[in-house]
A = this chain, B = another copy of it.
Amino acid sequence: MEKAEEILKIKDVNPTAVRILVLRYLLEHLKPQSLKDIEKGLMHTDRSSIFRSLKTFEEKKVVHSIEDGSGMIKYAVCPTGCNCDPQDLHYHFYCTKCSYTYCLLDNPIPIIKLPQNFKMQRANMVVKGLCNKCS
């Protein structure tokens, strides 16, 4: 079994044709990809089908999404063992020049002291600036 199929099996997602294509596309690309990126990459697959695959993936924790302020949500395959819990979260970096987004997997986000009775569920942490290629 290939990597994509394996992941879908583990995360309990029906391995349909479109889903395998989308997940493979994400696995083949190091950096988080937008719906449009994927649509361009998979030229014969419909946008709304890709969109629904991504929604399913997110729900089943196959991928996580990043709101990097570019106007397009980016998607990246969750690292092994990730369950999208607060302790699994990581920073992202958005390059304002080349508009690539990076998962910064090396350091987890610290525990953030919230006001009384605020309960954290998720986070979207984006550092913006210039990446190594653009600085």
A104 and B110 contact, CB distance less than 8 A:
no
- Contacts of A114 on B, CB cut-off 8 Å? 93, 104, 127, 129
The A interface, classified by DSSP as helix, strand, loop or mixed, is strand
- Contacts of A129 on B, CB cut-off 8 Å? 114, 118-122
Nearest Cβ distance between residue A114 and chain B, in whole angstroms?
7
Q: What string of 1s and 0s marks CB contacts (under 8 Å) between A91-129 and chain B?
A: 101001000001010110010111111111111111111
- Contacts of A132 on B, CB cut-off 8 Å? 115-118
Given A106-B113, A114-B127, A116-B132, 11 more A-B residue pairs with CB atoms under 8 Å apart are A114-B129, A117-B131, A118-B132, A121-B128, A121-B130, A122-B127, A123-B127, A123-B128, A124-B124, A124-B126, A124-B128
Sample (24) of A-B pairs whose CB atoms are under 8 Å apart: A67-B124, A67-B126, A68-B124, A69-B124, A93-B114, A93-B115, A93-B118, A96-B121, A104-B114, A104-B115, A106-B113, A110-B110, A114-B129, A117-B131, A117-B135, A118-B129, A118-B131, A118-B132, A119-B135, A120-B128, A120-B129, A121-B128, A122-B129, A124-B126
